[in-house]
Amino acid sequence: MSVLAAQRTPEEIARASKSSFLVSFGVLPPARRRALTAIYAFCRVADDAADDAVNAAEGRERLRFWRAELERAASGAATTPVGEGIAAAIRGHGVDPGHLHAVLDGVEMDVDGRDFADFAALLAYCDKVAGAVGLACLPVFGVRGGAAQRYAVALGRALQLTNIARDLHADARQGRCYVPRAWLAEAGVDRAVLAALDGARSAGVAAVLDRLVGAAREFFAAAQGELAQVEEPRLLVAPETMAAVYRALLDKIAAAGAAGVFGRRLRVPAWRKAWIAWQTRRRLQ
């Protein structure tokens, strides 16, 4: 368990991450913004617990700390600034800690180095590490109901698939592969090709990337369909801002192709994120 992570505030963790998600936080009132920042910081430290561990045993130990801290937060006995932020989100907005436990379950899958036999298995993972985050955030946004829950799950899948497409090569170099084995077999791609620089010239890798992009687009569209059924969609301006930024990122991935994904990490410029945030807020008013 990282002592530094345990001492940092949610705001410090969020600022240090420079995540594309952060542009959406500014559209919220202060109390809701603090709760959302706490949820983001919890997910960040959980993810870092897996990524920064020197081995699987250390990763699992770190995750056990954060799982215990989540339980302490739920009982009002948090011991870290992040835990205190989660406790406030639970008290003030009715955030369900069960969704955050699901996030930890998903991160633990990364620690164990599991792969995915088929697309259904990959989606089950996406629902833990991304969909569960959206479900945890819904009460912070002040939105409830079946359509909102389906929106959160579909958007979580779209965001995670976009991340997987962007990091296809980088993840493979770290020994991780999120592409279903069935997809790799159908494209005639060996996992080792994803980690090799010349994989950028592989027709099979290009086919896999196109398939990831197409799946992400389908879930973005599904999320929009559910948004149309939400009673007050204006309350979802924050996740809609995230969605718009990630759709822009997905467009960059599609345009750059495998050569772009195997090069420098693709990003949406800060100025465009700000423009997207303004446009999204105006659209949902």
Residue 136 has pLDDT above 70, yes or no: yes
pLDDT for 3 equals 45
pLDDT for 110 equals 87
In CATH terms, the fold of domain 115-285 is Farnesyl Diphosphate Synthase (1.10.600)
Average pLDDT, the chain: 92
Residue 135 has pLDDT above 90, yes or no: yes
Which of 101, 127, 122, 105 minimizes the C-alpha distance to 60? 105
Give Cβ neighbours of residue 174 (< 8 Å, ≥ 6 apart): none
Within the chain, which residue ranges are assigned CATH 1.10.600.10? 1-98, 115-285
pLDDT for 49 equals 86
Residue 2 has pLDDT above 80, yes or no: no
Residue 133 has pLDDT above 90, yes or no: yes
Confidence of residue 5 (pLDDT cuts 50, 70, 90): low
Tell me the mean pLDDT in the region 264-282. 90
Which of 17-21, 124-128, 189-193, 207-211 is predicted least confidently? 17-21
Which is more confident, 281 or 148? 148
pLDDT for 21 equals 65
Residue 23 has pLDDT above 80, yes or no: no
d(CA 194, CA 18): 26
Place of tokens 């197409």: 214
Tell me the mean pLDDT in the region 247-260. 96
Residue 4 has pLDDT above 60, yes or no: no
Percent of the chain with pLDDT over 70: 95
Which of 48-62, 165-179, 184-198 is predicted least confidently? 48-62
Confidence of residue 112 (pLDDT cuts 50, 70, 90): confident
Place of tokens 């997987």: 164
Tell me the mean pLDDT in the region 82-94. 96
Cα separations (Å) of 141 from 90, 122, 133, 158, 182? 13, 27, 12, 19, 38
Write down the CATH superfamily of domain 1-98: Farnesyl Diphosphate Synthase (1.10.600.10)
- Calculate the CA dihedral of residues 151, 154, 156, 157 and round it to 10 degrees: 180
Q: What SS3 state is found at 180?
A: coil
pLDDT for 1 equals 44
- Calculate the CA dihedral of residues 120, 166, 51, 76 and round it to 10 degrees: -70
Residue 26 has pLDDT above 80, yes or no: no
Confidence of residue 114 (pLDDT cuts 50, 70, 90): confident
DSSP string, 69-138: HHHHHHTT---SHHHHHHHHHHHHH---HHHHHHHHHHHHHHHHT---SSHHHHHHHHIIIIIHHHHHHH
d(CA 178, CA 228): 31
Residue 222 has pLDDT above 60, yes or no: yes
